[in-house]
Amino acid sequence: MKVALVGATGLVGKVMLRVLEERNFPVTELIPAASEKSVGKTIKFKGKDVAIVSVAEAVKRKPAVAIFSAGSSASKEWAPKFAEVGTTVVDNSSCWRMYPEIPLVVPEVNANVLTPRNKIIANPNCSTIQLVVALNPLHLKYKIKRIVVSTYQSVTGTGVKAVNQLYAERQGVQADMAYPHPIDLNCFPHGGTFLENGYTTEEQKLVDETRKIIGDQNIMVSATVVRIPVVGGHSESVNVEFENEYDLAEAVELLRNSAGITVQDNPAENHYPMPRYSEGKDDVFVGRIRRDISQPKSINFWVVSDNLRKGAATNAIQIAEFLNSKGWLQ
């Protein structure tokens, strides 16, 4: 199987290479593509050097699947061109997520929306992915009415420039600023750009994408995005109000028995999810599960996941694995 990786030299692209190897995705020919300045350089895949090509060259080779992590403008330009030659595109940018005809997929939640006709498939925002993995089993049982979520997002969600800023500040040296404020020993409620309603684009993504993936436009969602000085792993404080009454022990067991979730919930032993221990793992970790004492039919919990893996690379490759299991990648 020919597999193109567009954006192979980027932060997420490098993790995608690692995940393709680890999960032993059946790649017979890897086609790493990147910007013109990287063409001709090589990357390592399964111990071998593979030459980076232009995106145009990758299209000519007609891969079965093209996994994108190259930004919205590249996806807008090139995803349709891959689709025209019969390639299925799994796109990690925000470009296609809210198009009604484009599936927005987290395999544990809504792989059932995929068909062989889908030639462009959107990978959700990293913070949305971990949220809906935790929400979905509870929604299926109790029906969600309202969600209030505050995210504590690591600097890798912004990119290499933000990581460099954090480390430079920690070392007391000057670096290019990815943020309008210092990030080391600091946090600020600012992810994306501010909209007229006072929310940010990152917060709006959580609203729109959660509704689309779960498949219920009536769910009320309010989000606050906070950037914190952590290198890998996003955390979320989640409050959910259900339409129906729930049993707390039953809700914990639902989470514990759901695909892609690890419950870490023993506060007496200081056992709860933390980004430090989610790094490099593919599961969504859920803990601090407790009844909301201020509101009936409501629950609180804490969700942590590696934003470069399940929040990006792993989810995209799981989509490709699902397509392949159906025989839809040729």
Name the residues annotated as catalytic: 126, 234
Nearest to 259 by CA among 112, 108, 126, 128: 108
Hey, what are 143's tokens? 């029906």
With beta carbons less than 8 A apart as the criterion, state whether 219 and 144 touch.
Answer: yes
Question: Measured between alpha carbons, how far is 51 from 39 in angstroms, rounded to an integer?
Answer: 8
From residue 324, alpha-carbon distances to 129, 220, 235 in Å are 21, 35, 31
